[in-house]
Structure 1
Amino acid sequence: MNKSWREYLFQFANSGTLLIFAFLCVYPFYFIIINSLSHPTESAKGVYFFPREITLSSYEQLMQIPTIFQSIFISVARTVVGTIVTVFCSAFVGYMVTKKELPFRSFIYRLIIITMFFSSGLIPWYMLMKTLYLKNNFLLYVLPGAVSAFFIILVKTYIESLPSTLEESAQIDGAGILTIFFKIILPLSLPIIACIAVFTAVGQWNSWADNFYLVTDSSLNTLQYLLYTNLKSNMADIMRTSASGTMLGADLASTGRVTPMSIRYAITVITVIPVMLIYPFMQKYFVKGIMLGAIKG
């Protein structure tokens, strides 16, 4: 079928708009990466499309932090362990609240939902964590987020969209709750499980507030908190060593030293790149899980 010039014009405008939108989404990350790789002098002048005088001085300075590899291990460990625990606990609770045989099922589900609207605040949270002996404890990164009301809602809605005959036939064959959950519900719920895993992993990887409030043991510091404290101390050192605190930005970059901005670029790349590498592989499950979990109101 021959297309009219209006249809060609619409396709051209539509494609151009989408390309511009995609460029606007990708360019900020690209901008940060090329500036983190450029020499501080060139970066201070403005690097917009290609890195200039490529150097790893900002990354080398970050790698000189004494406990950075320990912090990387802690961040990876909390992300992996925390994601597994949260996915399992939230999925199991979400499955249980779909069981009509569960006593006070409606009350328990409503009680879970209420936690999404009301928060006790920072001080009660701090006192609770301290009472549970989670201060300076790795479990601080895992247990408080083991059950999420939002994830329970997603799982419950998704499970209710599955054919009930599958579970009924398993019960006739003598399968118990755990058998049904692990051998039937979990395999059929992979899209929503992947969705929850992406949410949890990103949140665990980027989290540092719990480290800030409840951890004083440097061996338990997360990567994000360590980079945050290093950025503050680095900026303070630069201010002290500058001429009366006035040599900043381009003036400081002209000496060949890393600047606060170049350190920020390097820190941003280190914290964002792992998420950007993992998310594309989980995106199809992520979108599918959200859509299927929203079929029922």
Structure 2
Amino acid sequence: MSVSRIERVSQAVIVALLSLLCLSVLYPFFYMLAISLNEGADAAKGGVYLWPRSFTFINYEIVLGNEVIRHSYLITIGRTILGTITGLLVTLLAAYGLSYRALPLRNGLLTYVLITMLFNGGLVPLYIQLFNLGLVNSFWVYIIPTMFSAWNMFVMLKFIQGIPDALIESAELDGAGPVRILFQIVIPLSKPMLAALGLFTAVGHWNDWFAGAFFVTDQSLIPVQTFLQQLLQASDLSAVLGSNSNQEALARGSQMQNITLMSIKMAVVMVSALPILCVYPFLQKYFVKGVLIGSVKG
């Protein structure tokens, strides 16, 4: 089928606009990468835009050699893995239970969950509740409050309701109970949805700085994003180096003179962003396949 000239021009314009949009998104990333790989004192002079002018790894050596940052990474990795697993488990079980139309008080439960998704009590009541539960200043403040997501539950519920009733009924005729149906029918068919929701949950845990900033005062329990938020507000390098840390780096003298707060900030941003960015290419296909199926089928 021949393509008219107007269609070719419109396609070229669309490609050009999307390319500009893509560049506008990627440029800040490459700029931060260039600054993080450049000597801080040299970068402070300006003129570093896409590639480092005075290449060095000293910024990453300082960041990765800092005990506070390494520990905050362990906190972030631990909460992301544990929070994603528990979040998917609770969401799946809740959606599977509410998918049974004969469940007593099912409509009332769905209405209650919907209300919690639309309204909340605010930050102060949440803090009081977490304090009374003993979760403030605890690692579990990252896990327990995020185990259940109303939005994820409704998406998962829609997906489960889209599974043919005949498939479940035939399993019940063969003597399969709810648990066996869950593990042998629902979960295998829900892998795209679980992958999509798992990615959403993992990204939410990895990027969350709020809980660490407001519900945790112990520096040994803050995640890396909260540390980055504190670093972005810092006015000197002591927020990163501390008084007793990185003594080996401090002993190198001449190299340390080339480090600035901005170069350290860029290195921390890159180190905190790269791991989750590497996950996207492997799970990107599940975004449309999983979420669209779960939101359209009914």
Q: Is the TM value for this pair above 0.5?
A: yes
Query: Are 2:122 and 1:121 aligned?
Result: yes
Give the stretch that moved more between structures: 229-238 or 285-294.
229-238
Deviation at 1:201, TM superposition (A): 0.4
Q: For 1:109 and 1:290, locate their aligned partners in 2 and report how far apart those are by CA, in whole Å.
A: 20
Deviation at 1:233, TM superposition (A): 4.1
Query: Are 2:18 and 1:27 aligned?
Result: no
Give the stretch that moved more between structures: 19-28 or 175-184.
19-28
Identity percentage of aligned residues: 36
After superposition, give the CA deviation of every residue in 1:236-295 in whole Å (9 maximum; x if it has no partner): 759xxxxxxxxxxxxxxxx95433332332222122111110011111012211111121
Instruction: State the AA in 1 paired with 2:172.
Output: Q
Unaligned runs of 5+ in 2: 240-255
Q: Do the aligned residues in 2 keep the contact of 1:231 with 1:263 (CA within 8 Å)? A: no
Deviation at 1:9, TM superposition (A): 4.2
Q: For 1:2 and 1:296, locate their aligned partners in 2 and report how far apart those are by CA, in whole Å.
A: 36
After superposition, give the CA deviation of every residue in 1:113-145 in whole Å (9 maximum; x if it has no partner): 111111111121111112112123322211111
Instruction: State the AA in 2 paired with 1:19.
Output: S
What is the aligned length?
A: 281
1:85 alignment counterpart? 86
Decide whether aligned partners of structure 1 residues 85 and 2 sit closer, same or farther in structure 2, where only a CA change above 3 A counts.
closer
What SS does structure 2 have at the residue aligned with 1:179?
helix
Pairing of 1:130-209 with structure 2 (within 5 A): 130-209=131-210
What SS does structure 1 have at the residue aligned with 2:117?
coil
Query: Are 2:220 and 1:222 aligned?
Result: no
Q: For 1:278 and 1:217, locate their aligned partners in 2 and report how far apart those are by CA, in whole Å.
A: 30
Instruction: State the AA in 2 paired with 1:283.
Output: Q
Give the stretch that moved more between structures: 111-120 or 10-19.
10-19
Q: For 1:70 and 1:200, locate their aligned partners in 2 and report how far apart those are by CA, in whole Å.
A: 22
Q: For 1:237 and 1:136, locate their aligned partners in 2 and report how far apart those are by CA, in whole Å.
A: 24
What SS does structure 2 have at the residue aligned with 1:277?
helix
**Structure 1 consecutive aligned stretches of length 4 or more whose deviation exceeds 4 Å:** 1-11
Instruction: State the AA in 1 paired with 2:32.
Output: I
Q: Do the aligned residues in 2 keep the contact of 1:167 with 1:180 (CA within 8 Å)? A: yes
Deviation at 1:51, TM superposition (A): 1.8
Q: For 1:177 and 1:2, locate their aligned partners in 2 and report how far apart those are by CA, in whole Å.
A: 55
Decide whether aligned partners of structure 1 residues 2 and 149 sit closer, same or farther in structure 2, where only a CA change above 3 A counts.
closer
Unaligned runs of 5+ in 1: 239-254
1:16 alignment counterpart? 16
Q: For 1:228 and 1:24, locate their aligned partners in 2 and report how far apart those are by CA, in whole Å.
A: 24
Q: For 1:207 and 1:14, locate their aligned partners in 2 and report how far apart those are by CA, in whole Å.
A: 35
**RMSD of aligned alpha carbons:** 2.3
Deviation at 1:3, TM superposition (A): 5.8
What SS does structure 1 have at the residue aligned with 2:144?
coil
TM-score when normalising by structure 2? 0.86
Q: For 1:294 and 1:186, locate their aligned partners in 2 and report how far apart those are by CA, in whole Å.
A: 17
1:247 alignment counterpart? none
2:243 alignment counterpart? none
What SS does structure 2 have at the residue aligned with 1:125?
helix
Q: For 1:17 and 1:230, locate their aligned partners in 2 and report how far apart those are by CA, in whole Å.
A: 36
TM-score when normalising by structure 1? 0.86
Deviation at 1:17, TM superposition (A): 3.1
Pairing of 1:254-269 with structure 2 (within 5 A): 256-269=257-270
Q: For 1:233 and 1:8, locate their aligned partners in 2 and report how far apart those are by CA, in whole Å.
A: 52
Instruction: State the AA in 2 paired with 1:39.
Output: E
Deviation at 1:147, TM superposition (A): 0.7
Give the stretch that moved more between structures: 228-237 or 129-138.
228-237
1:244 alignment counterpart? none
Q: Do the aligned residues in 2 keep the contact of 1:136 with 1:216 (CA within 8 Å)? A: yes
